[in-house]
A and B are shown apart, each in its own frame.
Chain A
Amino acid sequence: MKTITKLFLGLLLLVLYTSCTKESNSASANQSSGAGGSTARFTIAGNYLYVVDHTSLKTFLISDPSHPVSKSKTEVGVNIETIFPYRDKLFIGSSSAMYIFSLTEPDRPEQIGHAQYQIHMSCDPVVVKDQAAYATLRADGPCGWSQSSLVVYDISSFSSPVLKTTISIFSPYGLGVNGNALYVCNGEAGLTVYDVSVPFTPVYKTEITGKTFYDVIPYDNILVCQVSDGFALYDIGTDPLNPVYISNVLN
C-alpha cells in the first residue's frame, strides 16, 4: 500500500512539474531539459536538432546522439538570424521577415506562414506566447535611416500573422517572455520590462541599467541574462515584472 501511495505521489508531482514548466517557460516547451536564448541558431524539438544558417533550415535526427543524421534542408529566405521553438512550431527570424514552420512532420518542417517586415533590418529574434509573437528589429545603418522597434504579431492564424503593435526602441537585441512579463535587451541601454497582460499591447514597466544586455532566458523563476562580459541572474519568481538582481559571473 505504501509503495502505491508513493508511486501515486510521485506521479502527481511529475504531472504538476510538467504542467508548471509548460506554463512558466515557453522556450522549453519542446525541450525536455532546458532552454536556449532568443538569438540561438540551434534548437532541439523532440528527437530533432534544427539549425538555421543564413538562408536555410537544416534538420538532424538525434535519437542516437552519437550518430546525428542529416534529414533535410529547407530554403527559407535571406539573412536568417534566429530560431525559436514553440509547441509544435518553429519561429524563424530573418532581417526581413518572421517565418512559421510546422513540425507535423518533424524530419521535414513545412513553412505554414510568414510575416514580411516593412523594412529590412538586422538582428531580429522572435519569441512566442500563445497567440502573440514578439520580435525586435534593430536598425543597423550608420545614419539612422530607420527606427528600431519591438513588433507584436497576432498569430492566431499561423498562415497570416497580423501586425498589432509597433513600439520604438533604441537598440534592441534578444528578448524573452514569461507569464505576463516581456524582457527586451537593449544592449548598452540595459534591459526593459514590459507588462503583456494584454498580449498585443505591451506596457512599459521598468528598466535595468548598468550592464550591456544581449539576450535573456526566463527559466524556473530566474532570468538568465547574457551580458557583454558574462552573465547575470535575476529573480523573477516573486514579481516577474520587477526582476531582482541575484548575482553575476563576469570574467
Chain B
Amino acid sequence: MLHETAPADSDLIFMRKQRNHVLGNQGVLYYLSLTNIVIMKINFRWLLLFAVIFSSCDPRRNVVLPQETIGYVPIYSNNTTAKQISAELPRPTIKGGKMFTTGKFLFQVEPDSGIHIINYTDPSHPQKIGFIRSFLCKEISFKNGFIYTNNFSDLVVIDISDINHIHEIGRVENVFPDLALQYPPKDQNNTTVYFECPDPSKGIITGWKQQIIKNPKCWR
C-alpha cells in the first residue's frame, strides 16, 4: 500500500482516501490544505512516518467513513462586514487564546473571534476593558500602540493608542492562508466530527450548521 518513492499529489489524494482512517487529524488538515489551494509542502517521509505509526496502533483503524451521518455544513457569506475590525464591549472568555503583554495591558486572543483587552495595572484586580472583533483571529503581536493580528488570511494593523477610538489602519490581504483554515467545533468528548469540505469559492465561512450529510469527505 505504501509507495516507495514520493508520489504525485494526485496519488497522495488517492492514498489519503484509502488511508484517511489511519491518518487521524492529519488527514483533514492535509485534505483542506489541498482543496484550499494552500501551498503547503508536505514532507512525504513525515506523512509516511505517521501513516506507519498510526496504522500500527490506532484502535480506530478498522473504522470506515459513514455513508450518512450527522455532521456539519459550512455557512457561507459574501458579507464584507465579516472583514470589519470593530471595538466592542468586554465579553466573556470562552477559550483563552494566545497572549501579548505590555506589563500594563494584556491582549488575549479569543480564537476565531477577536482580542480581549485587559488592564492589569493593579494585578490583583485585572479588568476587561474592551474587545476587538476580528474574525478568525488567532495570532497577536504589538508595538507602539499598534496591534498586529490576522483577520481571515489578512494581516491587519489596529491602532489602539486611544482606547476609545480603536480602528484598523493597515491591511495586507491574503498573506496567511494557513490561518484561515476552518473546522467545525468539536464536542467535549473529542469525538470525531464529520463535515462537508469547505469550498473557498463559495465565500467566507461564518459558521457551521448541523445536519445529516452523505458521504462526508472531511473529518477531524
Which residues does A use to contact B, with CB under 8 Å?
Answer: 31-37, 39-44, 49, 51, 53-55, 58, 60, 62, 65-68, 70, 75, 77-79, 96, 120, 141-143, 145, 214-215, 217, 219-220, 222, 224, 226-231, 233, 235, 246-251
Interface of chain B residues 82 through 106 with chain A (CB within 8 A):
92-103, 106
* A230 x B100 contact (CB < 8 A): no
* A251 x B93 contact (CB < 8 A): yes
List 12 A–B pairs whose Cβ atoms lie within 8 Å, in order of A's numbering: A33-B144, A35-B100, A37-B98, A42-B148, A53-B179, A75-B41, A120-B50, A142-B59, A215-B99, A226-B98, A229-B95, A233-B123
Answer yes or no: B213 CB below 8 A from chain A CBs: no
Answer yes or no: B3 CB below 8 A from chain A CBs: no
Of the residues A41, A51, A65, A249, contact of B128 by C-beta under 8 Å = A249
Answer yes or no: B196 CB below 8 A from chain A CBs: no
Residues of B within 8 A of A70 (CB): 172, 175
Of the four ranges (under 10, 10 to 19, 20 to 34, 35 or more), the interface on chain B belongs to 35 or more
Residues of B within 8 A of A231 (CB): 96, 99, 106, 108, 118, 126
Interface of chain B residues 40 through 97 with chain A (CB within 8 A):
40-43, 46, 49-50, 53-54, 57-59, 92-97
Q: Nearest 7 pairs between A and B by C-beta?
A: A143-B57, A34-B102, A42-B141, A53-B178, A220-B103, A230-B93, A78-B43
Residues of B within 8 A of A233 (CB): 120, 123, 126
Interface of chain B residues 148 through 201 with chain A (CB within 8 A):
148-149, 155, 157, 159, 169-170, 172, 175-179
- Chain A residue at minimal CB-CB distance from B49: A120
Residues of B within 8 A of A228 (CB): 95-96
> What's the nearest-Cβ distance from chain B to residue A33, in Å?
6
Of the residues A44, A54, A215, A222, contact of B40 by C-beta under 8 Å = A54
Query: Which of B50, B58, B172 has the largest count of A CB atoms less than 10 A from its CB?
Result: B172
> What separation, in Å, do the CA atoms of A70 and B54 have in the docked complex?
39
Residues of B within 8 A of A141 (CB): 53-54, 57
- Chain B residue at minimal CB-CB distance from A96: B46
- Chain A residue at minimal CB-CB distance from B150: A42
- Chain B residue at minimal CB-CB distance from A46: B143
Sample of 16 further A-B pairs with CB below 8 A, known A66-B170, A231-B96: A37-B100, A42-B149, A49-B141, A51-B155, A53-B177, A55-B40, A62-B148, A65-B146, A65-B170, A68-B170, A78-B41, A78-B43, A79-B46, A142-B57, A143-B58, A224-B101
Of the residues A42, A66, A67, contact of B140 by C-beta under 8 Å = A42
> What separation, in Å, do the CA atoms of A230 and B116 have in the docked complex?
10
Residues of A within 8 A of B97 (CB): 226
* A250 x B46 contact (CB < 8 A): no
* A68 x B58 contact (CB < 8 A): no
> What's the nearest-Cβ distance from chain B to residue A44, in Å?
5
> What's the nearest-Cβ distance from chain B to residue A171, in Å?
14
Answer yes or no: B216 CB below 8 A from chain A CBs: no
Answer yes or no: B208 CB below 8 A from chain A CBs: no
> What's the nearest-Cβ distance from chain A to residue B163, in Å?
15
* A35 x B54 contact (CB < 8 A): no
* B101 x A34 contact (CB < 8 A): yes
Residues of A within 8 A of B128 (CB): 249
Residues of B within 8 A of A54 (CB): 40, 178
> What separation, in Å, do the CA atoms of A124 and B143 have in the docked complex?
25
Of the residues A35, A40, A58, contact of B175 by C-beta under 8 Å = A58
> What's the nearest-Cβ distance from chain A to residue B219, in Å?
15
CB contact under 8 A between A40 and B98, given known A62-B148, A141-B54, A249-B118: yes
Of the residues A36, A66, A96, A235, contact of B100 by C-beta under 8 Å = A36
